[in-house]
Amino acid sequence: MEELKQKLTAAGFSGEIDDSEALRNQFSHDASLFEIVPQLVVAPRDSADVQRLVSVVAREKHQIKDLSVTARSAGTDMAGGAINDSVIVDFAKHFTKIESVSPTEAQTQPGVFYRDFEVETLKVGSLMPAYPASRDLCTVGGMVANNSGGEKSLEYGKTKDFIKELRVVFSDGNEYTVKAINKKELDAKIAQKDFEGDIYKRVYELCERHYDAIKAAKPNVSKNSMGYTLWEVWDRETGVFDLTKLIVGSEGTLGLVTDITYRLVPARAHSGLLVLFLKDIDELGELIPRVLEHKPATFECFDDSTLLLTIKFMPYFLKMLGVKRFVHLVVSLLPDVRQLLRGVPKMVLMVEFDGETEDIVRAKIRALHRELSAFRARYEINGFDETPTEGKSEKFWIMRRYAFQILRKNVKDKHTAPFVDDFIVRPEYLVEFLPKLRKLIRKYKLFATIQGHIGDGNFHVIPLMRIQDKKERDKLLPAMKEVNNLVLKYHGSLSGEHNDGLVRGPWLEMQFGKEVLGYFREVKHIFDPYNIFNPHKKADADWDYSFSHIRDHF
């Protein structure tokens, strides 16, 4: 890599170029169960640096076969999408400017943490609501790369639904503006007869030639992060052509995003929570539709394992929250501890409503409470907790949002192994699906928590394993295969939010079939003919490669 460093410097690259062992090891893993040590870490200062980097890498690719670049910001990816064995591009160091914010949109660089971005949008009374549970840890660029979603996706949708415009450096080394355009504008792009025009021409021809097959390939669930979202690029009825639908969720395999313009929505002033403690999950098939009829803003859940671990590791929250919030948390949990003495619920459901006034929120909560109370004995619901303000509901959101961090840091001799962590099936199947899932978890003797977005059937199952133990490692492939087969049997998607990365990319053919996988590979080749962007992900994934890079220590 010494020659590449020299060529980058000669090209005018002004950011940091580092091949120290310490930094390479630091960037060798993300939040996944994989580890790959890069040869070089670069931190571009601006878009011109990114363009210089891509241009040099594209020129040198014929000399260095395995040369590639992988974008990275916070490194919270749970699928292994932010690691590679060549060049890591660190956007978190310099791409940290929020350029403008208005009540309807905000322009930002990709290395900005979502937590800081939200502070600025709330100042103008607005929100970008497609944030994940890792909202305090992730960056806005990572959200674009994964097409992230979270607790508010039930009402609002995912990141792709809030992109107004992207600036992207493609494999020719130039930066382009990408946004939705009409057919007349598309024809003008195609007529350019240059690299950008060629991309528009070939993607349009692909979508038009296989229009029906591509539209039919869309998973029949409310959200999906598997593959490339080809079915939303071209719509004959509206005449809209939108390449942002391909870039969002592409894990940096099609180009490097340097700037993002998000669409914002008004932040509602009040919210409240109805919490249900379920002894038995058998009636979820009836309970879920009743809740959804009331159109909640969010509908979340976590299981008994999550609940008990949260209580067991309560001291961890002292460091994370600070003394004042920790004391408030402990005091607010006391009534629920008394509730638990009567029996630990199998699942805790959280139904949140929001509105312009507290009275509106309270009325929504009470209306659902009254309806569910009529079925209380039948559903064996232990009790209800009305929390009409955000402050009172904080304890449940802490359990839901921070469970993964707790597991990663506190369970001795075991580590989180997110390999079946993000599947989604339609809610009407859950009454059949969840018992079968639990049976598989028991079959492989996995100590795992189940949590997620029950309103759209998107679950995060996080096993805790001793990956360094061969017997444990040997469970990964057969357990993954059985869970994935179960998900697909119920017409689901293997990823609702976390994307393919190294862990799910190899299963794209299983999800979509050979024909559609061929379309994905064509997309990759159109944008990236020399495979310089984040190899071994998406349509370029291979399980033998992925499995050979599973971490053997933590």
Residues 86-142 have pLDDT tens digits of 999 999 999 999 999 999 999 999 999 999 999 999 999 999 999 998 888 999 999
User: Do residues 51 and 394 lie in contact, with contact meaning Cβ atoms separated by under 8 Å?
Assistant: no
Span 64-79, average pLDDT: 95
Identify the pLDDT of residue 280: 73
Identify the pLDDT of residue 415: 72
Q: Give the chain's length.
A: 554
Identify the pLDDT of residue 386: 47
In order of 90, 136, 143, the CA distances from 74 in angstroms are 9, 11, 10
Identify the pLDDT of residue 358: 86
C-alpha–C-alpha distance, residues 524 and 409, integer Å? 37
Q: Sorting pLDDT into bands at 50, 70 and 90, what band is 450?
A: confident
Q: Sorting pLDDT into bands at 50, 70 and 90, what band is 375?
A: very low
In order of 133, 267, 301, 374, 507, the CA distances from 296 in angstroms are 18, 15, 14, 19, 33
Identify the pLDDT of residue 322: 64
Edge to edge, the sheet with strand 256-263 lists 98-101, 105-108, 256-263, 163-169, 175-178
C-alpha–C-alpha distance, residues 228 and 220, integer Å? 15
- Confirm whether pTM is higher than 0.75: yes
Identify the pLDDT of residue 270: 85
**418: pLDDT strictly greater than 90:** no
Coil/strand/helix, residue 373: helix
A 10 A CB-CB count for 73 gives 27
User: 119 or 401: which carries more pLDDT confidence?
Assistant: 119
User: Do residues 147 and 248 lie in contact, with contact meaning Cβ atoms separated by under 8 Å?
Assistant: yes
Span 384-394, average pLDDT: 48
Quickly list H helices, 374-495. Answer: 376-379, 390-410, 430-443, 470-489
User: Do residues 11 and 56 lie in contact, with contact meaning Cβ atoms separated by under 8 Å?
Assistant: yes
C-alpha–C-alpha distance, residues 526 and 536, integer Å? 17
For 451-461, letters b (16+ CB in 10 Å) and e give bbbbbbbbbbb
Most confident of the following: 77-81, 390-394, 413-417: 77-81
AA letter at 177: T
- Concatenating the DSSP letter of every residue in 315-332 gives HHHHHHH-HHHHHHHHHH
C-alpha–C-alpha distance, residues 323 and 334, integer Å? 17
Span 205-214, average pLDDT: 98
Span 145-168, average pLDDT: 96
Identify the pLDDT of residue 36: 97
Give residues with Cβ within 8 angstroms of 167, minimum separation 6.
47, 175, 176, 177, 178, 257, 258, 259, 260
**376: pLDDT strictly greater than 50:** no
Identify the pLDDT of residue 133: 84
Identify the pLDDT of residue 395: 59
Q: Are strands 458-465 and 16-18 parallel, antiparallel or unpaired?
A: unpaired
- The mean pLDDT of the chain is 88
Coil/strand/helix, residue 492: coil
Identify the pLDDT of residue 337: 56
**340: pLDDT strictly greater than 70:** no
C-alpha–C-alpha distance, residues 350 and 472, integer Å? 33
User: 5 or 449: which carries more pLDDT confidence?
Assistant: 5
A 10 A CB-CB count for 413 gives 9
The single residue listed with the structure tokens 């909560």 is: 365
